[in-house]
Amino acid sequence: MHHWLRTALLLSIMTFPSAAKAQELAMGSCEVVARIHDRVVCRAEVEISDEAQDDVAQEYKANGIDPAVALQQRRLDRLGTIIWDTALSHEFGDAISSTAQEVTDYNSAFKSKLDSNFAKDQRTLAEVNQHLENPDLTAPQKQSLLELKTALETSITFYAQRAKQRESLPPEFFKMMADTEQEMAEGFLRQWNIAQHLYHKYGGRVVAVSGRYEPVEAYLKFLADIEAQPSLEIYSADYEDALRLLTANWQIVGETGQDVTKAEADEYFASPLNQFSAQ
């Protein structure tokens, strides 16, 4: 799968078949497939419902991918996420969570960055229009400027429409958007906290991926430490590759990401708001 899906794996709140799990536990029939620290993982937590299996099978079969392989990878993803999250909580506790004030500050900085980009796009568009008035432009130069103009106009229109739509939203929809922005901010801050703590613990190579800095070497070292922990036990051969899949995913991120300097990484991990100061 693409590396951005792997990155998303660490941000997402996985939806497991909790009803099935609760029923299994209530009946005392939890089939334990893994254990890490005091966290017991039942098969129901990593299995995929029959309905979801059908959807996945159709989706991947249409793309020429073996559905059985895709389903097994999803199971491994689920177990790997449980193990990863449990190990992080055991290692860092509440330090990887964000406070309400941190979320507020992040959203404020994010909005300020959007406003700044909007104003910058407007200034750039004015400069492009001035250059287009130059009669000495070559055909390729004019074409490049026209393409840039189109991109800027699209960006400016999108921002303006977004602001207008927000103002006209009924209260219930405005609250829905605010809740979504809150969740996104919490997700980013959690991932940033995880990356920061692992970077400070292990150091090593950091790469830029989709506007984020990922301490891939620290991730790989932490995964190796998890696998070496006596508290980790995987009882089913069906799931023994869960951590190796995570390791392979982060190796792909490392291969496709762009290296950043230690100074850049140190600045990025000094504050989650520092990304917004970059021009």
Mind listing the pLDDT tens digit for each residue in 51-66?
A: 777 777 777 777 778 8
Residue 140 has pLDDT above 50, yes or no: yes
Spatial CB neighbours of 122, under 8 Å, sequence gap ≥ 6: 156
Residue 70 has pLDDT above 90, yes or no: no
Nearest to 234 by CA among 71, 77, 84, 35: 35
Tell me, what's the pLDDT at 277? 67
Spatial CB neighbours of 10, under 8 Å, sequence gap ≥ 6: 81, 84, 191, 194
CA distance 261 to 253: 17
Residue 21 has pLDDT above 70, yes or no: no
Spatial CB neighbours of 9, under 8 Å, sequence gap ≥ 6: 77, 80, 81, 246, 249
Percent of the chain whose pLDDT exceeds 70: 89
Chain centroid to CA 258: how far?
17
CA distance 17 to 260: 40
Local confidence band at 71 (pLDDT 50, 70, 90 cut-offs): confident
What's the rounded mean pLDDT across residues 71-83? 92
Tell me, what's the pLDDT at 231? 92
CA distance 40 to 200: 29
For 236-245, the pLDDT digits (tens) are 898 999 999 9
Chain centroid to CA 209: how far?
10
Angle between helix axes 100-132 and 139-168 (nearest 10 degrees) is 140
Residue 213 has pLDDT above 50, yes or no: yes
Residue 26 has pLDDT above 60, yes or no: no
Entry pTM: 0.74
Query: Is 106:189 a contact under the CB 8 Å cutoff?
Result: yes
CA distance 60 to 75: 15
Find tokens 């005091």 and name the residue: 38
Assign 209 to helix, strand or coil: strand
Residue 9 has pLDDT above 50, yes or no: no
Tell me, what's the pLDDT at 55? 78
